[in-house]
Structure formats: C-alpha cells, structure tokens
Amino acid sequence: MRFQLNFKSGKPVYLQLVDQVKSAAASGAVQPGELLPSIRPLAEELRVNRNTVAKAYAELENQRVIETIAGKGCFVRESGSPFKKDIRLKLLAQEIDDAVVQAHHLQIARAEFLRLAEDRFDAFEHKRTSAGS
C-alpha cells in the first residue's frame, strides 16, 4: 500500500499512518492476510523516524487491525473491531460531528450531506469490488 504523509495536517504522523492503514483495510486496498511493509524500509522511504512507524504498527496491533508474526512481519487481520458496538458507534459519532460542523460552515444542507454520505459508501463499495476482482 502507498502512504502519504502531510506534516501540515496537524495530526500526529504516527496517527496518519494508523488511519491510512485502517482506511485502506476498509476500502479493500489492503486485504486480510496481506503483508505490510516492514518498519525499516517504510521509515527510509517516508524519511520518518523509525520509532514513528513502530508506534503506528503497535497502535494498529492494539486496535487489532494488524497482527505481527515474529520473523515474518505485520499482516492485515480479518476486519473485526475489539470494541463493543456502542463504543464503536460513539467513536464514529465524534467523526461525524466534525463533518456536520464543517458542513454547516460550508453551507451544505442536511439532505445534501446525507446524499454525499450515501455516495461515499457507494464509492468505497465500488473500490472494494474492483480491488477484489
């Protein structure tokens, strides 16, 4: 998978890596069982501290997005979050709140916002089917 870092996003670099793996897993850009690049080459390629990549992978392992097999590397797991559903919903609600606030400032009405959300679901599903074929 390809990583793209943006030092101007205000989001800690390791979290950017975490989110990119999670979103790649959600869209099917990486499939369960697929191997992620190992820490050293990825750190060299992105020119970031090795510890940053190690921290991201540790966090992904914590969230059960990937699993590390000693001597073999880090693999994407079957999707399945360790959190209970209500906690998962709450986590998502925070993200949606941000988008709702943003929509307000961009003067996007509720109906349009919901239509966009549908479109995005379709887009991800489309990506997943074309990645799987």
Partner 1 sequence: MITETPVIEVNGLVRRYGRTDAVNGIDLRVQAGRCYGFFGRNGAGKTTTIKCLLNLLRPTSGQAKLFGLDPARHEVAVKSRLAYVPDHVAFYPWMSVRETLDYFASFRGHWNLDTERRLLGQFRLDVRQKTSHLSKGQRTQLALITAICPEPELLVLDEPTSGLDPIVRREFIQTVIGAYQEGEPGRRTVFVSTHLISEFEGLIDEFTIIEHGRNVLTLPADTARERYQKIYARFSVEPAGLDLAGARVLRRQGREIEIVVNGNSSDVLERLRARSPETLTAESLSLEEIFVAALQPEGVTA
Q: What is the smallest separation between the CB atom of 82 and partner 1, expressed in angstroms?
A: 25
The one among 19, 35, 50, 90 contacting partner 1 by CB under 8 A: 50
Is residue 31 close enough to count as binding partner 1 by CB under 8 A? no
The one among 26, 28, 34, 54 contacting partner 1 by CB under 8 A: 54
Q: Which amino acid is at 130?
A: S
CB of 112 closer than 8 Å to CB of 100: no
Is residue 71 close enough to count as binding partner 1 by CB under 8 A? no
Chain-centroid distance of CA 129 in Å reads 18
Q: What is the smallest separation between the CB atom of 50 and partner 1, expressed in angstroms?
A: 4
Is residue 48 close enough to count as binding partner 1 by CB under 8 A? yes
Retrieve residue 23's tokens.
């979103």
Contacts of 3 (CB under 8 A, 6+ apart): 17, 20, 42, 46
Of 113, 115, 84, 85, the residue nearest 99 (C-alpha):
113
Is residue 51 close enough to count as binding partner 1 by CB under 8 A? yes
Residues of this chain that bind partner 1 (CB under 8 A): 5, 7-10, 12-14, 40-41, 43-44, 46-52, 54, 105
